[in-house]
């Protein structure tokens, strides 16, 4: 509780969700981005904040900043919600062996093996 007025302290999760809700339901994109950035400042390793920020960028038709936000969130935590957003956008991981084409048999097999081992 806040010692001055008895209200609970704001959590970074609540701020982030409030930002996304504000942007999605009211179209207040700048305010939503500002709230998500505040949440990131308070808790920079929370992947959900980057997910919400990326979703707001998509609402604003800003695909590149959205992808950057999603990728930053993935570096914080392997969040399946972020992976789903990237898959929905058609973003794929780079091939395992970058010197070979994505369709090369070695890349296909290496990707499948790494996926089975849950390394990718």
- pLDDT tens by residue, 37-61: 999 999 999 999 999 999 999 999 9
Regarding whether 71 and 110 lie in a shared domain, the answer is no
Is pLDDT at 99 greater than 50 in this prediction?
yes
Residue 2 lies in a domain: no
CATH of the domain at 31: 1.25.40.10
Q: Is this structure's pTM higher than 0.95?
A: no
Q: How confident is the model at residue 90 (pLDDT cuts 50, 70, 90)?
A: confident
Q: What is the mean pLDDT of residues 6-18?
A: 80
Residue 48 lies in a domain: yes
Residue from 56, 49, 92 nearest 72 by CA: 49
Residue 6 lies in a domain: no
Average pLDDT, the chain: 89
Q: What is the mean pLDDT of residues 79-104?
A: 88
Q: What is the mean pLDDT of residues 99-117?
A: 87
Residue 52 lies in a domain: yes
Regarding whether 67 and 37 lie in a shared domain, the answer is yes
Q: At what angle do helices 63-76 and 47-59 cross, to 10 degrees?
A: 170
- The domain in which residue 114 lies consists of 95-120
Q: How confident is the model at residue 14 (pLDDT cuts 50, 70, 90)?
A: very high
Regarding whether 106 and 53 lie in a shared domain, the answer is no
- Per the structure, the count of domains in the chain is 2
């Amino acid at each position: 509780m806040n010692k001055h007025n008895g209200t609970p302290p704001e959590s970074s999760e609540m701020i982030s969700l409030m930002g996304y809700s504000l942007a999605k339901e009211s179209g207040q994109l700048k305010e939503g981005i500002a709230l998500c950035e505040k949440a990131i400042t308070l808790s920079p390793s929370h992947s959900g904040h980057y997910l919400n920020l990326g979703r707001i960028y998509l609402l604003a038709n800003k695909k590149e900043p959205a992808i950057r936000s999603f990728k930053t969130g993935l570096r914080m935590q392997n969040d399946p919600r972020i992976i789903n957003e990237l898959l929905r956008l058609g973003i794929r991981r780079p091939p395992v062996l970058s010197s070979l084409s994505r369709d090369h048999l070695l890349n296909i097999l290496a990707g499948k093996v790494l996926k089975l081992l849950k390394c990718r």
